[in-house]
Amino acid sequence: MNASSSSPDDPARASSISDPARASSISDPARASSISDPARASSISDPARAYALDLLDFIGQSPSPWHATASAVQRLHAAGYQALQERDAWQLVAGGRYYVVRGGSSLIAFVAGMAAPAEAGFRLVGAHTDSPGLRLKPHAAHLNGGFLRLGVEVYGGPILATFTDRDLGLAGRVHLRAPVAADAAAVLLTVRSPVVRLPNLAIHMNREVNEQGLKLHRQNELHLLFATENAGREGAFHHWVAQQLQCDPANVLGVELQVCDVQPGVLWGGRQEFIASSQLDNLACTHAGLCALLSVQQPDHTAVAAFFDHEEVGSESAVGAAGSFFSDVLARISEALGAHGSDAARARAHSLFLSADMAHAWHPNFPAAYEPQHHLRINAGPAIKYNASQRYATDGAGAARFMQWCEGAGVPWQSYVHRSELGCGSTIGPLVAARLGIPTVDVGAPMWAMHSLRESAGALDSYWLHLAMARALQSG
């Protein structure tokens, strides 16, 4: 738990912070209850509400990590950022704005500092673009019992039960035969209508489901229903994919699709103070980091936002946070801005990484699941995550920096520790800290139902998180 003088567990303290958004965030309950339209009775400020709606738009456009990267690139382009290719030589200018994509699903964007990185260092924020779920196998379509079904692999650690009885679409990328030999071209595909389904077994055949929980065998019981056998042979799905892209089936070389929720995200609650959507973990933090970077004005240091795929499966890949992408890009930024000899190491030595990933909000129906002294309250500010075994990379010095960024931005904060007898999740923070040797702080916005297909959170916390991240990138 953090020092008592700065404890966020004191509501009086949190609400005394002089952020204008915060000041107007809690309306008079009497007034609110007299308004019949729940949207108009919102208890969060207009900027925070606009931010939450923008987050829902961002998630809506980003049903896969490839889409999330493309959505971020679209915003970077609109803000004048220039694309860099890893295979090219880079010529960077101080104050220039750039981004580089690896593998279509990881992205690093930055504002080149007015001073050389060896002199002013990097201020870095990061998050991940992937979310747990179900991914189609390469030969997904198969006939069984009169149905055309799609076989899936489980990606990461989803709550499988939340995928049942929902309207499910498909999203990802499809690799087409390139018109002129060379590389195959990848195109994004989003099917946002309910095309597949995972119906539950009736309770009459699964009498214990409410006492035992829903158990689904990963190989046998997760096949998605797509059509009856009348729809054709196994090739029917391949043709259907080609049809979605209006191309010749012979030109479809590979399909990387995952299940997505077709239901748009919403603000909810009697006072519209909560948010619900798929992929809040971790697109809420990716969106926050992106918005933070887009707000940065010409600092001396180089401000960087990095978003990685494959966090949910351990990050060990060419595009993951445990791969070389981050270190390659930082080294090349230093070099392109004039580094020699030990300059790149000097740059890292006065840098700091803020690793943002969602955190576990206290759930009033399950009080025993939480460390009693470290409850994260919804809409009470971002969490600083601590773990003595370094599953979170935060140390006291880094936490103190984050607290000051929060104070500077008028944002309350909280402290999180997992229950001692439960295994703690991890983030990209410790991986980046170890590989780059850069002090790291793990933070995140509190949420419920992490890894459900329909996660929920406070509508205010990611707004606050982005203000703190912007402060980190701007002021250093």
Q: Rule CB under 5 A: which residues touch Co ion?
A: 281-282, 357
Query: Smallest gap, in angstroms, from Cβ of residue 282 to Co ion?
Result: 4
Q: What φ, ψ does residue 6 adopt, rounded to 5°?
A: -115, 20
d(CA 326, CA 435): 9
Q: How far is the CB of 160 from Co ion (least distance, A)?
A: 17
Using left for φ > 0, alpha for ψ between -120 and 50, and beta otherwise, residue 314 falls in left
Q: What proportions of the chain, in percent to the nearest 5, are helix, strand and coil?
A: 35, 25, 40
Q: Which of residues 25 and 282 has its CB atom nearest to Co ion in the complex? A: 282
Residue 48 exposure: Cα atoms within 13 Å on the Cβ side: 29
Say how far apart CA 222 and CA 158 lie, in whole Å.
Answer: 12
Select 256 or 281, whichever has its Cβ closest to Co ion: 281
- In the complex, the smallest distance separating the C-beta of residue 412 from Co ion, rounded to whole angstroms, is 22
- Of 256 and 357, nearer to Co ion (C-beta) is 357
Closest to Co ion by CB, 157 or 367: 157
Angle between helices 280-294 and 461-475 (to 10 degrees): 40
Q: Which residue is nearest to Co ion (CB)?
A: 282
Task: Report, in Å, the least distance between residue 358 CB and Co ion.
Answer: 6
Closer of 19 and 281 to Co ion (Cβ)? 281
CB of 179 to Co ion, least distance (A): 38
Distance CA 302, CA 186 (A): 32
Nearer to Co ion, 273 or 442 (CB): 442
Rg (the chain; Cα; Å): 23
Select 176 or 445, whichever has its Cβ closest to Co ion: 445
Nearest CB to Co ion, comparing residues 321 and 403: 321
| Degrees, nearest 5: CA angle 347-301-429 | 65
Beta bridge partners of 109: 99, 305
Of 160 and 174, the one with the shorter C-beta distance to Co ion is 160
Give the number of other Cβ atoms within 10 Å of residue 446's Cβ. 25
Query: Minimum distance from CB of 75 to Co ion (Å)?
Result: 21
| Least CB distance to Co ion at residue 181 (A) | 39
Residues 6+ apart with CB under 8 A from 320: 106, 308, 309, 310, 311, 314
State in angstroms the smallest separation of the CB of 374 from Co ion: 19
Tell me how crowded residue 12 is: count the other CB atoms within 10 A of its CB: 6
Contacts of 318-325 spanning 24+ positions with Cβ under 8 A: 318/102, 318/103, 319/102, 319/103, 319/105, 319/106, 320/106, 321/126, 321/128, 321/428, 321/431, 321/432, 322/431, 322/435, 325/102, 325/106, 325/108
Minimal distance in Å, beta carbon 373 to Co ion? 24
Task: Give the residue with the Cβ less far from Co ion, 42 or 394.
Answer: 394
Least separation, in Å, of the C-beta of 72 and Co ion? 16
Q: Is 218 helix (H, G, I), strand (E, B) or coil?
A: coil
- 8 Å CB contact between 468 and 408: no
Reduced to 3 states (helix: H, G, I; strand: E, B; else coil), residue 404 is helix
CA distance 100 to 117: 18
Burial of 165 (0-12, 13-18, 19+ CB in 10 A): exposed
> How far is residue 342's CA from residue 354's CA, in Å, rounded to a whole number?
24
State which residue, 100 or 359, has the beta carbon closest to Co ion: 359
Least CB distance from residue 91 to Co ion, whole Å?
A: 35
